[in-house]
Structure 1
Amino acid sequence: MSIPVIDLKDVDVNNPECEATQKVVAELRKAAMHSGFFYVKNHSVPLQMIARQFALSKDLLALSDEVKQKYDVKNFFGFRGFDKLNGQQLDPYGKPDHKEGFYCGKNYPQDHRFAIAKYQNYGPNQWPEELPECEEICQEYIEAMYSLADYLMKLLALTLKLPADYFDASSQDPMGTLRMIRYPPTPEDEDGLTYGVGAHTDWGSVTILAQDQVGGLEVCMPDGTWVAAPPIEGTFVVNLGDMIPKWTNGLYHSNPHRVKNTFSKGQYRYSIPFFYEPDYHAVITPVLGTLQEGEQAKFEPCTVGEHLEQMYNRSYNKAAENAVA
């Protein structure tokens, strides 16, 4: 049992009838109905851009604790900046996640209506002056991720026999979050319950993950089996988030996944996920064709912003409670 690799070469979302597009649409639909995870290759993001982002990640997360505290995510409403080691707990029944990271996103202008309203993920970025190249490198990568995420959403629309631009209306001002993460080795004296990231589903539409060669990502299949999602050269790992089952009335899956810090002492694992979510006020209800006549919706309608704020608060407050305990 493994996670499929989907080749985007020659795919044209504006030509659903071409052979390459039909093949990928069928493969993507199958993956979405099973694990909600797949690799993509020939994704058009330059490999040197990805390598540069990993180099920046290492420089960022090697900064001193004093510098990281100066740019802590809690400084501003937008949740941008550094989050500390063991500061988040994604598995509510586990232990705090043994990782640290740096959040950033698109530079939305401060007179944008969502920034004025102080909605999460639309606030100011905190770019460390200690690394003056950080902003430019991250903004270029974020732009590439937005393009790829939009492309994947168009493919998902085609898998549902909808127009490719179906989801565009809910993503005029999308929430995109780039996160650079460093995982230290699991402490030698831990009791077997410590994970780099505990079992969880992602919260938005799609996550696009670049991972280094260390490995450790595991995905829970529908039958409950955990399978590895090892690094594959030249690919991203893509997974569907919670918005997709809500949009498809459970037809497509957002599966749990976790990270095991099984690497050697003194070694770190780095990963770079990009989380793509629709507009803050977008209301998520089943799309055309996924709710049959007489069938009840499996999920209560919600706005994207409501769901994300609830999940942020739960995961960070739970980690704080366990730290005090």
Structure 2
Amino acid sequence: MPKDFQALPVVDISGLSSGDPAARQACAEALGRAAREVGFLYVTGHGLAEALFDDLLGQAKRFFARPMADKMACYIGGSVNHSGYVPEGEEVFADGKIDRKEAFDVGQDRPDADGSEPMTGPNLWPDDPAFKAAASAYYAAVAGLARRLFGGFALALGLPQDHFEPHLTAPSAQLRLIHYPFDADAPPDQQGIGAHTDYEFFTLLRGTAPGLEVLNGEGAWIDAPPVAGAFVVNIGDMLEAWTNGVFTATTHRVRRVAEERYSFPYFAACDYATVVEPQAAFVTPERPARYPRLVSGDHLFAQTVKTFQYLKPLRETVGQTAAFGRVEGR
């Protein structure tokens, strides 16, 4: 469990684009400290235009304000790549709890996919060109930022900056547009999202209001409010496994919101067929391999099948045991 931090570190990642190797390494070391000691951080100096976020937020507000019948016209259960509208109650977790939220999920739009990989193919979009344009532009920009962070994490681990590049040809990454409605009558223990770690390598998040909390090593929930212009980045299960626990996937949740909240997490993953297991550089007699071998896309699909109701008929044929055993939701 991470140490008894009381706030998230802030890392300016502009140095990752420097022509000076020493500047890139210094930036990577700061990323590495945050990944080892906390598992969560704020990232600034990323260079993404704020208009991308503003446009996405505006389109998300318009979409979620539509009548339910309009939203259900692009229900995720009608997609071929796990994209589209996710109504409240669609996601049910192992303890039977339902998160107080609705969402719209976007993957890499691949109309040419041959159907051999679950969750890969053309996105299911609403009949709204402006929504599609804003979500697509944001997805592309944050995917580029994720690629830079993969390079920074590689340097922090003593690996070449392009170490992950062979695994990023068509990543199984997902963007979620999440709406947390405010309900003044909700019980005090009603959470937006229950305590969990993320499945993928890491997550990049922008949100509009407080609500995100991170669990420290003393069992205290630490507030992680939005910082203007910054992304929240947190380590996921796969990067923890890849590094044999050198980097930490930290438990987090969204508490009962005190105001309407929108959140846009991008779950950075590698290619579907990428094998995830402790790498030799991080396995020693004193630190034996702690995690099982898995295939990235298969693991993501198995975890998704456990949660989404439209995939319930597949639960008999997809493995039911979580590879890391700590994931409760998203």
Q: Structure 2 length as normaliser, TM-score?
A: 0.87
Q: Which residue of 2 aligns with 1:75?
A: 78
Identity of aligned residues (%): 31
AA matched with 1:233 = A
Instruction: Give the direction of change, closer, same or farther, for the CA distance of 1:52–1:189 in structure 2 (3 Å limit).
Output: closer
Matched, 1:181 2:178: yes
Give 1:302 deviation, angstroms. Answer: 0.1
Q: Does 1:3 align with 2:8?
A: yes
CA distance in 2, matches of 1:157, 1:117: 30
Out of 140, 156, 160, the position equivalent to 2:157 is 160
RMSD between aligned residues: 2.1
TM-score by length of 1: 0.89
Tell me which residue corresponds to 1:55. Answer: 58
The residue type equivalent to 2:149 in the other structure is L
CA distance in 1, matches of 2:302, 2:254: 23
Decide which of 285, 291, 296 is 1:299's aligned counterpart.
Answer: 291
* C-alpha contact (below 8 Å) 2:117/2:272 kept by paired residues: no
In the TM superposition, residue 234 of structure 1 has moved relative to its aligned partner by 1.0
Structure 1 gaps, min length 5:
321-325
The alpha carbon displacement at 1:89 in A equals: 3.8
- Residue aligning to 1:117: 116
Contact 1:98/1:186 (<8 A) preserved: no
Equivalent positions of 1:191-206 (< 5 A) are 192-206=188-202
Q: Which amino acid aligns with 2:179?
A: R
2:69 to 60, 66, 70: 66
Q: Deviations for 1:7-39, whole angstroms, at most 9, x for unmatched residues? A: 123433664323xx3332222111111221100
Q: Distance in 1 between matches of 2:311 and 2:33?
A: 36
Distance 2:8 2:230 in 1: 12
Gaps of 5+ in 2: 1-5, 313-330
The aligned residue for residue 106 of structure 1 is 108
- 2:214 counterpart (216, 219, 223): 219
Separation of aligned partners in 2, 1:175 and 1:14: 30
Whole-angstrom distance in 1 between the partners of 2:281 and 2:158: 8
Q: Specify the alignment match of 1:323 in structure 2.
A: none
Residue 236 of structure 1 is matched in structure 2 by 231
SS at match of 1:116: coil
1:282-318 deviations in whole A, cap 9, x for unaligned? 1012224211157531011000112111211222259
Looking at structure 1, the residues matched to 174 and 214 of structure 2 have their Cα atoms a distance apart, in angstroms, of 22
Contact 2:25 2:155 in 1 (8 A): no
8 Å Cα contact 1:35-1:220 kept in structure 2: no
Query: For 1:53 and 1:255, how far apart are their aligned partners in 2?
Result: 27
Partner of 1:46: 49
Q: Which moved more, 1:292-301 or 1:278-287?
A: 292-301
Q: Distance in 2 between matches of 1:227 and 1:215?
A: 11
Structure 1 window deviating more from structure 2 (222-231 vs 292-301): it is 292-301
- Partners of 2:286 and 2:55 in 1: CA distance: 52
Establish whether residue 270 from structure 1 lines up as the match of residue 254 from structure 2: no
Deviation (angstroms), 1:59: 0.9
Give the whole-Å Cα distance in 2 for the aligned partners of 1:218 and 1:309.
26
Match of 1:87 among 87, 90, 95: 90
Cα–Cα, structure 1 residues 15 and 293, in superposed 2: closer, same or farther, change >3 Å?
Answer: farther
Provide the rounded CA distance (Å) in 1 between the counterparts of 2:233 and 2:293.
25
* CA contact 1:25–1:158 (8 Å) conserved in 2: yes
